[in-house]
Every structure is written in structure tokens, then in C-alpha cells.
Structure 1
Amino acid sequence: MSHPHEPVGEWWRDQVAALHRWGRLVLRDEDDSVHQMRVTVRRLRSVLATYRPLLDTEQTEPLRAELKWLAALLGDVRDAEVLRKRLRQWSAEHGPGPSGVDALRAALTERQAVGRARLLPELDGERYRALTAALAAADGFPWSGSAPGKKKLRKRLRRDWRRLAAAVDAAERADTAVERRRQLHEVRKKAKRTRYTAESLREVFGKDAERLAEAARSIQSALGDLNDSAVMIRAIEDIPGRDDALREFLEAEEAAAKAAEEKFASVWKKANRSKVHGWLNP
């Protein structure tokens, strides 16, 4: 059990409380609630992975598995929300869409409806209640013993950062555009983990952790734009018999994906500075 004033334990309790709060708002269909609940689940999953060698894994591995299940349910709904928003923005600029855009709109609306039909009963079911009860039962972060000191915590964050940097190197060495995008997707995942770990350590490392979390967030944001375009491209390609308007939308998303890739280079250059991550070195 964590000490009541142990900083990471306090952060954990805040996230568990946020999960409860957002879950209630999702059931009420409040705006942005699915997105916020999904982010909270990601934070919990991410830190459980980062700190795994320091945790009571008999307790935390089942939590990770159940959080993964919940993340998948939320992801189905949230991805459809994002795509529908992108389509609305494009349609507002280009006027009412003909058959191809209408078909895409209908497909995305159905995708969101199906996702919500799966999600909502689960949020009111026994499996979700058991998960939230187990998360709360930890009463702070579920360390295997006493809370680790700064040295061990810094080591876990340093490992996340180095994995992020290695993923960027792999993307820069990619031989094809397809491989580069695949590697950049890995960069985005590593950036999220680095960000969430740094956020959990704000009370431990102060401004250093805040600066690193912000750098990782900027990477995540830039590559999130690329990911949204890539997912939309796949959704458009699934529509049979694309017409001129849908082909125009596809071209716009491909251009947006390319622009996001180009933007990432400058974002990474700014993030990969000694001022941001030099304090992690032993």
C-alpha cells in the first residue's frame, strides 16, 4: 500500500477518480466524455507498463488486461467521432456532399452507433464495476513494496525516453514511405508512454518532468494528425465506387498526412534537446 502522501500514489488516485467521473458522463452522452475517458484509461495502462518491474504484478497484470479491454471499447467510439468531425469540417468547406460523401458519412455514423451500443451496457455492467473496484482497492500506486526513490523512478522514465528516440531513429532509416509511416506510428505510441510517465512524476521532478511531458505531448499531437488522416484514408478506401467528391476528400487527407509528416521533423528537433531530456542521464 502506498503512503498517503506518496506523489505517484496521489496521481494514481486522481486518475482512478477521473475514470469514475468520465464513465458517468459517457453514460449521459456528454460532449468529449469518450475522449477524456479513453485518455484516462491510456494513462493508467501506460504507467502500469512503465513501472512493471517495481509493481505487484499479481495485482497489476489483471488490471492491465481489463484496461486494454476497456480501451478497445472506447476506441471504437472515439475513432468514429474523430472521423465524423473531420468529414464535417471538410463538407463545411466544400458544400453538401454527393453520393460518395453521403455514403462515407453514413458508414461513420453507423460505426459510432455500433460502438456505443457495445460500450454503454458494459459501463453499466459487472465487468466494469469489478475493474473500477480493483483500481480503487490499490489505494495509491500498487508498488510491490515501499514506494521507490527518485533514482529508480528516473530510470523508468529514462527508459521510456530512450525507446522514443530509438523509434524516431528507426523512422528516419525507413526505406519506404509505407515503412516510415509504420515506424512513426510506433513513435506516437512511445511518445504517449513517455508523456504519461512524466506526468505521473510532476510532483517528484517538478519543472523537469513538466518540460519532458510537454515535449512528448507535442510529438504525440503532431503524429496524431498523421494518424487521423491515415485512418480516414482507410475509411474512404472502404467505400465502393468513389465519386469525384470522395476522391477530392481522399486527396485532401493524403496531403494532410504528408504535411503532418513534414511538421514532425521540426517538432522532434525542438523536443530532442538537452534542456528537455538531459536531466534523465545518471
Structure 2
Amino acid sequence: MTEGEAAQPLEAGRPDPEDAGAAALVAIAAIVETLDASLGPALLDLPDGVHAHRKAVRRLRSALAAFRPFFDGARVDVLRADYRAWGRELGDVRDAEVRIEFAEHHLAADDPPEARVLLVDDERSARAFEHARLARHGIGPAAAGRRRRLAAFLLEPGRTAVARQPIEDGLRERLVQQGERALDRADAALGASASLDDLHGFRKAARRLRYATEAAAALPASRFGERADRLAAAAEAIHESLGAHRDGVLFAEHVEALPGSGAALEPIAARARLEAGARLGKLPATVDELRAALRAFA
């Protein structure tokens, strides 16, 4: 897995879940453990801390969305909104980190010194300000409230009748639904007039499919085996390539929008756009693999 922690089998000693809803709750609880463990490093600004915690937030929101039919939908929606807001705050810091990484990657030896000041030094100062705000909010009343609501959900999620499905049948149905949702968005993303929003919508759908599949595959009772691994890998390939494309385009737009960017920064933006465009070359093949992986899984 190229985006940090891969899904690992859950430890022995947990009681085997008796139905699909119980299995989904075990998977969500495992993500919450990672969420809690990654919060401190994020707030302390340890290396990769914000990135890791943001990924945990996204995994939680993806699992809640994919497995929503098993639980009280209104409570799931509140939690997803809670962690969407927190994810956006994390994103303000992480986006600055990504812009710095892109600047370091695309700055050339013959670029003028002011380019580094604008794209690296000033960005680091802005990121420090955003992180200070994040650290305050991460221990504030809103943070305590969303974590209490999450704890209450884990204790009593409001199970629905759908939750009583057999584990394999229930989880497969949910994951196939997410796969079909992703492929529905592939058509717009592959079109000649695809916009950045079309690509982003497809990327988010692939990300949800990936994270939900990895969560299900990590369950001790999972019997999906290589089929789930293939489906998660296919979704990951789309998620990663479209993410790199979007980051490159947004970096280029950021550079072009800087006051007085002019000729000094134009080559940097052009290099970023060129590299981002190349990320789309294999998209049709990755979509074909997703279709094949979903057929094999279903």
C-alpha cells in the first residue's frame, strides 16, 4: 500500500462477530483505535502526524458511509459531518504540506531565489499558523463532543434489520454497491471534457471503496481473501493516481494565483501541470481493472 498503513488482520482474541452489522462495527472500532492513536502525533506536529491522522479520519468516514445501512442512518450522518469538519481543518494543514513538497520537487537550480521564498519559506510560515489553530481545536469542546458521540455509537449504533444478514453476504453487498458507485463516476472522469471536479468525484468514490474493502478484509471472519485484495488494490490505484494529479493541478493553480507571480514562477507551474497530466495516462487501464476486480468479487 502506498498511502501509509495497509489494512492488517485484526488481532486474535476478539469474539467473532455474529452477523454483518456486528462485523462492520468491529471494523469501524479498529479504525477508531488508529484514529485515537494518531491524534497525539498530529497535534504535537510529529513527522507525518497530520497526514496519518487525516487518513484515519477518511477511513472512518468511508467505513461509516459504506456500512450505513446496518445502523441508525441519522447517527451515522452526524458522525460523518463531525469528522468532515475536522478533516477539513486537518486538510488546511496537510494541503500546505503538499504545496511545500511540490515546490521542493519542482524548483530548479536556475529558478530565482524569490521563488523559494514564496513557495517554501512563506508556505512554511502559513502552515505553522494553521497548525497552531489545529492544535487548539483538537483539544477543544468540539473535539470532545465528536469523540463522545463516536464512543456512544460504538456502544449502541442503532442496528437495523439489514445488520442481521450473514457476514459475507452483507459485507459483499455493501462493497459491491460501493464499487458500482465508483464505476458510475468513472464515465464522467473518462470523458473528453472531464473537469477537475469529475475526476475528484471519481477519486473520492474509489477512496471510499478502497477503505471499506480494506476494513472488511481485515476482519478475522473475512473469507474474501484475494478477491478483496484485488478490489482494494484496483481502487487504490485510481485513488493514488487521481490524488497525485489533483495535487499537481492545484499546486500549479496556487502558483499562478500568487500576487506578482509572473515569468519567475511560470516555469514551475508549467512543470507541475505537465507532470500532473501524465498521471492520467493509465486511467483507462485502471478503470478496466476495477471493473474486472469488481466482477470477480461479486
Q: Same fold (TM over 0.5)?
A: yes
| Same amino acid, percent of matched pairs | 30
Residue aligning to 2:29: 13
The structure 1 residue matched to 2:79, chosen from 30, 38, 63, is 63
User: How far did 1:143 drift?
Assistant: 5.5
- Give distance in 1, aligned partners of 2:76 and 2:145: 14
Q: Is the 8 A contact 1:99 1:243 kept in 2?
A: no
- Give distance in 2, aligned partners of 1:147 and 1:138: 18
User: How far did 1:280 drift?
Assistant: 4.1
Residue aligning to 1:153: 171
- CA RMSD in angstroms comes to 2.2
TM-score (norm 1): 0.88
3-state SS of 1:241 partner: coil
3-state SS of 1:30 partner: coil
Q: Is the 8 A contact 1:38 1:74 kept in 2?
A: yes
Q: Match for 1:31: what amino acid?
A: P
Q: Is the 8 A contact 2:203 2:243 kept in 1?
A: yes
Cα distance change of structure 1 residues 270 and 59 upon mapping to structure 2, 3 Å threshold: closer
Render the CA deviation track for 1:157-193: whole Å, top value 9, x for unaligned. Answer: 111111211211122234x3xx343311111111101
The structure 2 residue matched to 1:212, chosen from 224, 231, 247, is 231
Any stretches of 5+ residues in structure 2 without a counterpart?
1-13, 18-22
Aligned residues: 273
User: How far did 1:129 drift?
Assistant: 2.0
Residue aligning to 1:22: 38
Q: Is the 8 A contact 1:100 1:241 kept in 2?
A: no
Is residue 277 from structure 1 mapped to residue 288 from structure 2 by the alignment? no
User: How far did 1:107 drift?
Assistant: 4.3
- Give distance in 1, aligned partners of 2:109 and 2:211: 38
Render the CA deviation track for 1:112-135: whole Å, top value 9, x for unaligned. Answer: 123212210011112212222332
User: How far did 1:11 drift?
Assistant: 2.0
Q: Is the 8 A contact 1:15 1:44 kept in 2?
A: yes
- Give distance in 2, aligned partners of 1:235 and 1:200: 35
Q: Match for 2:85: what amino acid?
A: W
The structure 2 residue matched to 1:187, chosen from 202, 223, 227, is 202
Q: Is the 8 A contact 2:106 2:272 kept in 1?
A: no
Render the CA deviation track for 1:196-232: whole Å, top value 9, x for unaligned. Answer: 1111210322322122111111111111110111110
Any stretches of 5+ residues in structure 1 without a counterpart?
none
Output aligned runs, 1:80-229, within 5 Å.
80-91=96-107, 93-94=108-109, 97-139=112-154, 142=157, 144-145=159-160, 146-149=163-166, 150-174=168-192, 176=193, 179-202=194-217, 203=219, 204=222, 205-229=224-248
Stretch moving more, 70-79 or 153-162: 153-162
